[in-house]
Structure 1
């Protein structure tokens, strides 16, 4: 299976390159060959890679910056996603679109299901929803995978930020009124390969197409995640770090975040057999790896 994934340095892309199963070749396409800000570069770049499956994992993910750079966010996350799907359709291959919990407003009091109404409250969320719609319109042979609270040993993410703060702080204030499913990009990669294989092996099965939620099992608020990070660090010999539970209002940001980002991922497991593990185990593994990397230089 030849998989072409957009992007070269994102958490999901790097995780896919690391976790590619035997017999799967992953080609990561980024600038200059493919630039999602330049829509006319997309079709030829994807065609040249000769994929069996296309995964659109690249995105404008700077949630706060998107509030002032809406045009760029809508181009990269919206129009370009449609062009990626259209290029895949032209080659007769399926496309997997990576989306987000930010398509919801966070107002329900339970994990979100795929059929819940979307109502994004940020530019980023609206741009990602536009991408979902563009993909669905351009290529019926698609799976849209919404995930949330992504972290990994790669790139910038919450885990790395907490470990950096732990070096100099005895106490860290962390938001405790936003709930979600902390999800490892390495686990996401495994699910993407499983979904992709199903799409290729069962081309006539409509149940495998459409929207799926792809979050880790279990749930937490950000303060819980920070506490787990610090606990694993302390277990490995680090100094204790306290978590001060604060409200979203105490840490204002340009873009609003959903208070509830919990995703019900049971459909993905039932239909594709691609259930993700509980977040605690994957998080601890990530912390151990990051700390081991620091110690070995």
Structure 2
């Protein structure tokens, strides 16, 4: 019996080389492949689970941060409230200052008006005193001067001319004015500026300071002083105070800050010397 013919498959020209043959897939390799696929699937599931767990944990993280955000917001609200309260306090303080300034300006205006009113009244009184003194001086000029001798400490006589009366009238009109060192009127004086202003009313220009005023005119003994004579305290040429004798043992001066312009008794504060310029 003839054997059936088996087709002969031509071999590759490299088939005889062992390294070029295709390896046969054994049962062990098949199991390994399957294990790898299963491991990959499990790894994918693990990653997906971890991702899901992470996504599920996010709300918890956000919930834990809420108290911090709420505390910050509360702090900001508190700061805003403090700023608003401070601004309101500043506005109130400014309003109070403005009100005080307005009240002070109103009071200053009233004081100025009152001062002007008093100054006008003094000016009117001084003018009336000048007129009365001029009339009295005119009457005295028509009759012989009468001199009354007093004690050895002082001698008083009536004004011998209208100029003296004018000087005395000006001085009496300033009684009550303030004493301010260096002031020259019209409502505040020091001792020498008052004397200088009084004699300027009759055209006599005296030096500004008491030291120099004690050097002018004619020296007069204190036992022979008359109304209108300038009295000084201290040495001649170094006097520290001056005033004007007004008669009857009295003198008028800008005394000091506590007294102002006053009339005083010469016996209570005897002068050092006297000079006459009229």
If the length of structure 1 is used for normalisation, what is the TM-score? 0.20
Q: TM-score, normalised by structure 2?
A: 0.21
- Based on CA coordinates, which of the two structures has the bigger radius of gyration? 2
Which structure has the highest helix share of the two?
2
Higher relative contact order (CA 8 A, sep 6+): 1
